[in-house]
Amino acid sequence: MGGRRARRRASPPRHAGTPELERVPHLAAVLAGDADGTGDPRLAAELTALTGLAPDAGGVPLRVCPVPTTGVVEALVVLADPRLPDHGDLAAAEEDLLGAYVARAGTALAAAALHEEQAHLGAVLQESLAAPRLPETPGVLWGAAYRPARETLRVGGDFYEVVGGAGRSAFLLGDVCGKGIEAAVLSGRVRQSWHALRLLEDRPGRLLPLLNTALLDAVATRDEDPRFATMVLGDAHPAANGTVTLRLASGGHPPPLVLRAGGEVEAVPVAGMLVGGIRDARFGEAEVTLAPGDTCLLYSDGVVEARGSGDFFGEERLAATLPRCAGAPPAVLCEHLEQVVVGWLDGHDHDDVALLAIQAPPLPSRPARSEA
Amino acid sequence: MTITDPDRLRAAYLDRLAASDESGAVAVALGALDAGVDAETVLLDVVAGAQREIGDRWAAGEWTVVQEHVATHISERVVAAIAQRAPVPAPSGLGTVAVACLDGEWHGLPARLLAEVLARHGWAVEFLGASVPAAQLATHVHRVGPDVVAISSSLPSRLPAARRMVEACRATGTPVLAGGPAFGEDGRWARAVGADGWAPDARAAAAMLAADPDGPWFRDEVTVATPAGDRSAREEQAVLHTRRAELVRLAAAAARPGVEITAVPEELADDLGHLVDFLAAAVFVDDPTLFDGFVSWVGSVSIPSGLHAEEVGPALDALAVALADSPRTVGLLRGARGGLPEPVG
């Protein structure tokens, strides 16, 4: 129970009562270093109440020994032993043993506190990099899925962003080279740069070279090794007739797939060089019109490179999986694909997986139904 | 005229789900709220009830997986709309519950509904979502320190994952309440994986937590004869896990002779994968009824291209031959084989 109590201290009190320390002023004084406490009967009474260890009839066989720590944890060891004569005087050997025990306990507690701080750091980073909420936009439906590689710190190098706007909505999906915390930090840089630059330049074919330059400049000012990213970015523009026009630009990324309402799958022929590699990089551009019920899928290479017991998942299987989702909402398409890919992995480790689907809403008169 | 009777509401709601009509489904749910039906009834008797019916339709081969996903997606949106129309009150200081689905459990809606219901009973609720890896749960429990962890699953094949999650919580002394059909009709497998209690549904979970917020909820006169995950059970389960892909191929070749390995339909491979997973779970909790139940179920559903009733026997035989070194596993396979109906004619 000790662990549980200590853990509770960090979280708000539940079955609410007065804070524990207020009820034990003498113990609080020892913890704060304001008193020694050894042999103090008032402290002994508090400790007796706290620990349930009854003092023997003759006196106060309790000894309190503060645990030296780095200051992050406050702790003390309470000894209660009816055999102790003279109010807790210990033989020299026992005194040594207690000293060694207390020192080690202090180290362990300090390490645990440090770990907690690091976990908190990771959590803050993770929250800042977490997959964003998708906007509600008139005339365009969005769906996404994000599954970071199997690490305890659930941050990764894949990313997507969507910002709804009046008339046009901007989106981005990409993948930075590398793994773990370095990749996560770079993906944060790409996303922030995109958020700022798209306010100044909304044409995807112009925006991507600007992003390329921004990433190269950031690397140049820091003596960092160059790091590359691949991405597709663009915007979606719904028209009054129910269609959605997409403008796309791509650098080094797998081509987006279009799933027509009737189930046909087309790859959008758009390619380009890696982003953040060289200054004069050339990027591809394309324009796609989605009719009602058509969906455009952007995905990271973690999808096609997912490898289970045998083969890679691959573009062909991806294209073969899509038709059964024809007409389904984009969120369902992404969720279904994620499940198929995870099933394919069969418990094996994988790279980050990111999916973003953009759909022109199906016409209400013909509700979307899919047949096996 | 507004409907307030839960059964009629559920029928109307199902009708909208069948038409993939999101706004219609939202209208049924919000209409009920506006007519005075309380949110818990709408969540559990209308939405959850309809979702159960959909599961039956899928099992009967009437609905495809994607149709089921679309309906579930709509229900998720309905749950969000209900939360907006009838907001959850502020936590009343009871404590914090973390709600998570087992790793590999993709049906997140039942857990989401539990989270909504517990929040309406005054708990602060952290909903971790579908398919939560045990490592992620361990991190959460250490960092946030919930008072109770509620785990949910519909598939008994996820029980080994449940054990890992229970162990993740045990390290901090956080009690675990299990829920959902994965743990057996009477929750017997919840006990077997080391959970501190089991609730058949969200209402029961709320009642149990209200009566005793700290657990354990199992009254421990009953001790498990062979605790799950003893060494040999774990070893045999690990063998099944490691050889899963190979076993699926062997079983496919036996079940449908003459079909090329590369041409095995996805539905057949899925069914055989589940067969191996249920076998592993049955070995893990040492309970033949878990595997027998799945075998009789898989023989009764009609998924086109999936495992057919007459193919079950040959698949079981092939597995028994391949797993001859695992005595418990072979015992379960033989037992299930013996329970199959005699081939007609």
Which pLDDT tens digit goes with each residue over B8-30?
A: 999 999 999 999 899 999 999 99
Q: Please name the residues in contact with B230: beta carbons below 8 A apart, sequence gap of 6 or more.
A: B286
B245/A10 touch (CB, cutoff 8 Å), yes or no: no
B172/A7 touch (CB, cutoff 8 Å), yes or no: yes
- The residue ranking higher by pLDDT, B200 or B105, is B200
Distance CA A33, CA B132 (A): 44
Which residue, among B73, B96, B132, would best test binding to A if mutated, counting the most A CBs under 10 Å from its CB? B73
Distance CA B138, CA A328 (A): 35
So what's the pLDDT on residue B1? 53
**Band of the pLDDT at A34, cuts 50, 70, 90?**
confident
What does the DSSP assignment read for A81-105?
-TT--TTT---HHHHHHHHHHHHHH
Distance CA A18, CA A21 (A): 8
Place of tokens 């003092």: A55
A368/B133 touch (CB, cutoff 8 Å), yes or no: no
pLDDT of A282 over the 90 cut: yes
Which residue, among A150, A309, A311, A337, would best test binding to B if mutated, counting the most B CBs under 10 Å from its CB? A309
Predicted complex ipTM: 0.74
Which residue, among A9, A11, A334, A340, would best test binding to B if mutated, counting the most B CBs under 10 Å from its CB? A11
Q: How far are the Cα atoms of A229, B54, B72, B275, B284 from residue B155, in angstroms, in the given order?
A: 39, 16, 17, 12, 14
Q: Which of A7, A331, A372 comes nearest B145 by C-beta?
A: A7
B20/A369 touch (CB, cutoff 8 Å), yes or no: yes
Chain B residues touching A320 at Cβ < 8 A: none
**Band of the pLDDT at A108, cuts 50, 70, 90?**
confident
- The residue ranking higher by pLDDT, A84 or B85, is B85
pTM above 0.95, yes or no: no
CB pairs under 8 A between A and B: 86
Which residues, numbered 78 to 117 in chain A, qualify as contacts with chain B under a Cβ-Cβ cut-off of 8 Å? Answer: 116
Per-residue burial over B58-73, b = 16 or more CB atoms within 10 Å of its CB, e = otherwise? bbeeebbbbbbbbbbb
Average pLDDT, chain B: 88
Structure tokens at A33: 């270093």
- Residue B196: DSSP 8-state: S
d(CA B72, nearest CA chain A) in Å: 9
Averaged over A344-367, what is the pLDDT?
81
Query: Count of CB atoms within 10 A of residue A94's CB?
Result: 13
Distance CA B310, CA B34 (A): 52
B94/A14 touch (CB, cutoff 8 Å), yes or no: yes
Taking only the tens place, the pLDDT of each residue in B315-340 is 999 999 999 999 999 999 999 999 88
Distance CA B246, CA B240 (A): 10
B174/A4 touch (CB, cutoff 8 Å), yes or no: yes
Distance CA B167, CA B184 (A): 20
Residue B121, classified by CB atoms within 10 Å of its CB into exposed (0-12), middle (13-18) or buried (19+), is: buried
Task: Say if A335 is an interface residue toward chain B (CB within 8 Å).
Answer: yes
**Band of the pLDDT at A63, cuts 50, 70, 90?**
low
What is the residue type of A174? Answer: G
Taking only the tens place, the pLDDT of each residue in A198-253 is 999 999 999 999 999 999 998 888 777 778 899 999 999 999 999 999 999 999 99
pLDDT of B99 over the 90 cut: yes
Chain A residues touching B133 at Cβ < 8 A: 150
Domains, chain A, with CATH or none: 6-126 (no CATH), 131-359 (3.60.40.10)
What is the CA A351 to chain-centroid distance, rounded?
A: 15
For A159, phi then psi, to 5°, come to: -155, 155
Task: Say if A1 is an interface residue toward chain B (CB within 8 Å).
Answer: yes
d(CA B259, nearest CA chain A) in Å: 18
pLDDT of B151 over the 60 cut: yes
Contact indicator for A165, A193 with CB cutoff of 8 Å: no
d(CA B99, nearest CA chain A) in Å: 17
Which residue, among A1, A5, A7, would best test binding to B if mutated, counting the most B CBs under 10 Å from its CB? A7
pLDDT of A275 over the 50 cut: yes
d(CA B161, nearest CA chain A) in Å: 12
pLDDT of B223 over the 70 cut: no
Bin B215: left if φ > 0, else alpha if -120 < ψ < 50, else beta.
Answer: left
A335/B245 touch (CB, cutoff 8 Å), yes or no: no
**Band of the pLDDT at B186, cuts 50, 70, 90?**
confident
A328/B94 touch (CB, cutoff 8 Å), yes or no: no
So what's the pLDDT on residue B37? 95
Structure tokens at B186: 């009477």
Contact indicator for A132, A187 with CB cutoff of 8 Å: no
A201 in helix, strand or coil? coil
d(CA B301, nearest CA chain A) in Å: 16
So what's the pLDDT on residue A26? 81
> In chain B, where does DSSP find H-type helix?
6-18, 22-34, 39-41, 49-59, 65-85, 109-120, 134-144, 159-170, 188-192, 202-211, 231-242, 244-255, 266-285, 288-298, 309-322, 327-338
Q: Which of B64, B133, B245 comes nearest A372 by C-beta?
A: B64
Taking only the tens place, the pLDDT of each residue in B30-46 is 999 999 999 999 999 99
Q: Which of A10, A329, A331 comes nearest B145 by C-beta?
A: A10
Q: Which of B20, B145, B244 comes nearest A368 by C-beta?
A: B20
For B341, phi then psi, to 5°, come to: -65, 150
So what's the pLDDT on residue B222? 53
Q: How far are the Cα atoms of A81, B133, B243, B245, B282 from residue A347, in angstroms, in the given order?
A: 52, 11, 12, 11, 19
Measured at the CA of B81, the angle between CA B78 and CA B84, to 5 degrees, comes to 155
Taking only the tens place, the pLDDT of each residue in B159-178 is 988 988 998 898 888 999 99
pLDDT of B229 over the 70 cut: no
Which residues, numbered 312 to 331 in chain A, qualify as contacts with chain B under a Cβ-Cβ cut-off of 8 Å? Answer: 324-325, 328-329, 331
B96/A14 touch (CB, cutoff 8 Å), yes or no: yes
What does the DSSP assignment read for A282-293?
-BEEEEEEEPTT
So what's the pLDDT on residue A83? 55
So what's the pLDDT on residue B301? 74
pLDDT of A288 over the 90 cut: yes
Chain B interface, Cβ < 8 Å to A: 19-22, 64-67, 69-70, 73, 93-96, 106, 131, 133, 135-136, 138-139, 142-145, 147, 172-174, 213, 241, 244-246, 270, 273, 304
Place of tokens 């004084």: A29
Helix (H) or strand (E) holding B179: strand B176-179
What is the residue type of B338? Answer: G
